[in-house]
Amino acid sequence: MDKIRPSPSPPPPTSSTTITAPDTKRNEELSVMSRMKKDCLFFTVSLKESFSYIKAIFVGQAKKMTARSEKEAAAAELQAEKMQVEAANEAENVKNKIDKSM
C-alpha cells in the first residue's frame, strides 16, 4: 500500500495582503455608513420628486378649472405632464450623480 503523505503547507501570506481585524471592522463600518448615507440621499431625492409630481398635478388641475376654453385646458394638461416629466428627469439625474460620487 502507498503511504499517505501530508501535502506541503501553503506559503505564508505576504505583509501587503494581510489585513488585521480592526482594519476589516473599520472598513465594514465605513461601507455600512456609506451605504446608509447613499440610501438616505436617494430617499430624499425620491421625496422631492414625489412633491414635485404632486405639485404638477395640483397646478394642472387648478389651471384646467380656471381655463376659459378647451385650448387653455389642453395647454394646462400639457404643462402638468411636462412638469411631471421634468421632476422625474431631475430626480434621475441627481440619483446618477450620487451613485457616481460614492
Write out pLDDT tens, residues 1-26. Answer: 566 666 666 656 555 555 556 677 77
Asked if the structure places residue 86 within a domain, the reply is: yes
User: Is 37 inside a domain boundary?
Assistant: yes
Query: For 39-74, b where at least 16 C-beta lie within 10 A, e where not — what string?
Result: eebeeebeeebeebbeebeeebeebbeeeeeeeebe
* Position 7 in a domain: no
Note the pLDDT tens digit of each residue in 27-86.
777 788 889 999 999 999 999 999 999 999 999 999 999 999 999 999 999 999 999 999
- 10 in a domain, yes or no? no
pTM beyond cutoff 0.95: no
Number of domains in the chain: 1
Range of the domain at 68: 32-101
